[in-house]
Each structure stands twice: as structure tokens, then as C-alpha cells.
Structure 1
């Protein structure tokens, strides 16, 4: 799995939407089956405003695998 930058007190994860500078609260895990092995996960992060738009973009292409909160993603990464 690809990693999402973790946020520390001075480091904020910013939404992946073009031009957005808002802190991300969602992780969109995706995979392009023409390029990646089935278990590989690429990630985009999204703020509340852009989560649906970015999810829809990935889902229409058959790439979207999972959407979880950034906090959940970081907890699962810490458990690995």
C-alpha cells in the first residue's frame, strides 16, 4: 500500500483536489488494474468538500477501492 503523509502538530495533510489548500480528512484508496497489481493501493486525500467529486472520478473509471477517514487510515498504518 502507498502511504499517506501523516499529520503532526506542524504538518497538515492537504486535499489532493486541484487548487484546494484545505486540510484533508478522507483517504481514497484506488488502483488502476491496467497498471497495478490487485493488492496495490494508491491514495488521494480529500477534504469534506471534495470527497464526493474525487470518489466519483475514481469510481467512474473502476479505480476506487475504499474511502476511510484519514484518522482510520493512520491507525491502520500504525498497526502494520
Structure 2
């Protein structure tokens, strides 16, 4: 085994990635996607994504709304145990 094997997960595919909450230090499974953008640096149609568990949804939403960044909150739907692509934290 070499360092490249370790980085690639040489022991084979592990368990499916679980989408986790974006709240600092929270490792709960996410149930929500908070879509946002920063109008000072992003084009209007661009959407960044934070994931939220049920316990932190309101906190993260309030954080984004206070700064004028929040656009929409939608339920997280993952297919066949895969994490959503394009997750930004």
C-alpha cells in the first residue's frame, strides 16, 4: 500500500456518503437544502447550497436571511444513497 492507495480508498468502496449538516460541528444527517447567493460576487442565477438538519434549519436560514443571501429552502432528496452534488459549505 502507498499514499496514493490511501487517498483513493484502496480498501474498496466504503459506505455511501451521507449528506451532513453545514452547521459548524454538526454531523447530523441533512434533510434540507438552503439555496443562497451573494449578489456582490455571484450572478443572479447562481445558487450555492448549504445543507441543514432539522435542528439547524432555522438557524442557518436566519443567518443567510440576515445577510440578504437566502433565496430558497427545499427538502433534500438523495437518490440511491448518494450525497447531492455541488454541495458548498
Q: TM-score range by the shorter chain?
A: 0.7 to 0.9
Displacement of 1:10 in angstroms is 1.8
Partner residue, 2:21: 15
Question: TM-score, normalised on structure 1?
Answer: 0.77
> Which consecutive unaligned segments of at least 5 residues does structure 2 have?
1-14, 85-89
1:37 aligns with 2:50: no
Partner residue, 2:70: 64
TM superposition outliers: structure 1 runs of 4+ over 6 Å: none
Question: TM-score, normalised on structure 2?
Answer: 0.69
Larger of the two Rg values belongs to structure: 2
1:54 aligns with 2:70: no
Deviation string for 1:28-61 (max 9, x for gaps)?
0001000100000001000000000000000011
Cα root mean square deviation, aligned: 1.7
